[in-house]
Amino acid sequence: MAECPPRLDNGDMDEALLIQNAQTYASRHQFELAERLGFGIHGIIFAAGNKPGGGGRAIKIHRAAEPFQRETMVYERL
């Protein structure tokens, strides 16, 4: 299930906090972050794999709630 990290007072996420939240999310869901695949104005994308091995994922960590919600609605329509 998609989750959005908490926002800072100015509405944007600090990059260090984004990465920390990504690591916490991955750990909670039994996988680990791997290399950084990309980034943009809305967030950062990491490769992630299962801790025991096998299977791969990509995790996009958004800086703010609005782009996250907009992207979530797009995926739900697909």
pLDDT of residue 51: 64
- Give the pLDDT of residue 42: 87
The pLDDT of residue 8 is: 45
Give the percent of the chain with pLDDT over 70: 77
Angle of CA points 38, 39, 45, to nearest 5°: 60
Residue 20 β-bridge partners: none
The residues, ordered by sequence, that sit 6+ positions from 14 with a Cβ below 8 Å of its Cβ are 8
What tens digit of pLDDT does each residue of 31-58 get? 889 999 998 888 899 998 876 655 678 8
- Annotated domain spans of the chain: 15-77
- Tell me the average pLDDT of the chain: 80
